Amino acid sequence: MIRSILLHSFVIAALVALEPVLSEYHHGNLARIMVLAVYATGYNLLFGYTGLLSLGHAMFFAAGMYGCALMIRLAEWSVGPAFVVGVICALIAGIVVGFLALRTIGVGFMIVTLMFAEAAYLTILYYNEYTRGDEGFTIAQSVRTIGGLDLSDTTTRYFAALTLFSICLIASAAVVQSKAGRVLVAIRENEDRVRMLGFDPFRYKLLALVLSAVMAGAAGAAYAVLFGYAGASFAAVQYSIFPLLWVLLGGPGTTLGPLLGTVLMFYLVDYASGTIMPGLAGMVETQFGIEAPGLASAYLLLVGVALVLLVLFAPRGLLGTVRARMIPWLP
């Protein structure tokens, strides 16, 4: 327990210490990564700890993002209350989807969440008039303030993202090491046995799903206010796959795996689309004479390759493997 508190405090302290030394570019990246890591941390509660694989988490992210951004854009609310509305939207979505989707198990749960998310995505496109569809809309810099702080300022933005991430990391660590967390892990291992120990698995699965949805929604709302943009691409299937990939990479069922996976995948994709792919494209065309008109923009290839390799060779992810081989107490 003490080791766990020390470890999480160290990670948060390290993120604070990094702030003054980061370049402008990495500064923005890391703020974005921390917001996305909140999303992944929530996803991990459901997938990594409870064993429920959702393919539709983008709907919760989008519920938070649009719940917040539309309040600012249409109702001209200020950032604070709009953020709360975003989180509440995700909460409600989590409860409704949970009550329905948790009647199914395994593959059924995956497909049902996928279908609900697809319906949510199409709904955003359908109400193009308000949401501006795929194109999305920006939130003016002038309204992106909270308590007098300018959220578009890089340092403020960094610390706002860090605050949210720290809250979610600590909450996630507290939940998984609590009594309820022990039940969640047990459900992942053997749901029938949990029922025959007198627990109602549905209640715990709903708890995990709702917590997970709330974190996804908080991430979506934070993204909207910190980066000043909301768009339908955040509700598309791809944004349901990303947290799965980040968590798989970092280590499902480890508290710090989501952050690690998000950092690695973000920089891998960033580096690949900025450097590797264009370079490769030039090489393929000049050296081999093969036409590869889209290679420079095909960075999602990495997402596919990473998913297949992880599921084949490292289903425990990085920190999961570390825990199995070296540090058994890793939370």
Partner 1 sequence: MDLISYLPFSLPHPALLAAGVLEGTVLAAVLALTALGLSIVFGIMRVVNVAHGEFYMLGAVLAWFITHTVSGTVGGPPWLGFGIALIVAPLVVASMAAATDWLVLKRLDYDPEATIVATIGILYIIQQLALTFYGPDARPVEAPFDFRVQTPWFGYSGYKLSVVGAAILLMLVVWLVLTRTKIGLIMRATQYDRETAQAFGIPVDKVYAGVFALGAGLAAIGAVLIVPIQQAHYLMGGDPLLLSFIVVILGGLGSLRGTLVAAIFIGLSDGIISTLYEPTLAKILATLLVAMVLVFRPQGLFGARAA
Partner 2 sequence: MAAVAQLSAEGLVKDFGGLRAVDVAAFTLNKGEIRAVIGPNGAGKTTFVSLLCGRFPPTAGRITFEGRDITAMPAHERVASGIAYTFQITSIFGNLSLYDNVALPAQRRVTLDGGGHVRERAMAALERVGLADRSREIASSQSYGHQRLLEVAMGLALGPKVLILDEPTQGLADSEIADFITLIREVAQETTILLIEHNMPVVMALAETITVLDQGRILAEGTPDAIRENAAVQTAYLGG
Contact stretch for partner 1 (CB under 8 A) within 14-22, 67-75, 120-128, 163-171: 120-128
Taking the least distance from each CB to partner 2, the nearer of 17 and 197 is 197
Angle at 260 (CA atoms; ends 254, 261), nearest 5 degrees: 90
- Say whether residue 103 binds partner 1 (CB under 8 A): yes
* Residue 199 touches which of partner 2, partner 1, none (Cβ within 5-8 Å per kind): partner 2
- Shortest Cβ distance from residue 185 to partner 2 (Å)? 7
Kindly tell me which residue out of 1, 21, 74, 197 binds partner 2, with binding defined by CB under 8 A. Answer: 197
Angle at 252 (CA atoms; ends 197, 245), nearest 5 degrees: 135
Kindly tell me which residue out of 9, 141, 190, 297 binds partner 1, with binding defined by CB under 8 A. Answer: 297
Cα–Cα dist 317/44, whole Å: 12
Taking the least distance from each CB to partner 1, the nearer of 95 and 292 is 292
Cα–Cα dist 245/259, whole Å: 12
Residue 229 three-state SS: strand
DSSP string for 74-98? HS---HHHHHHHHHHHHHHHHHHHH
Instruction: Name the residue with tokens 């280590």.
Output: 251
Cα–Cα dist 211/300, whole Å: 29
Cα–Cα dist 1/329, whole Å: 9
Binding-residue pattern over the window 307 to 326 for partner 1, x denoting contact by CB under 8 A: xx--xx--x-----------
- Say whether residue 325 binds partner 2 (CB under 8 A): no
* Residue 190 touches which of partner 2, partner 1, none (Cβ within 5-8 Å per kind): partner 2
Where does this chain bind partner 1 (CB under 8 A)? Answer: 53, 55, 100-101, 103-108, 110-112, 115-116, 118-119, 122-123, 125-126, 241, 244, 248, 290-295, 297-301, 303-308, 311-312, 315
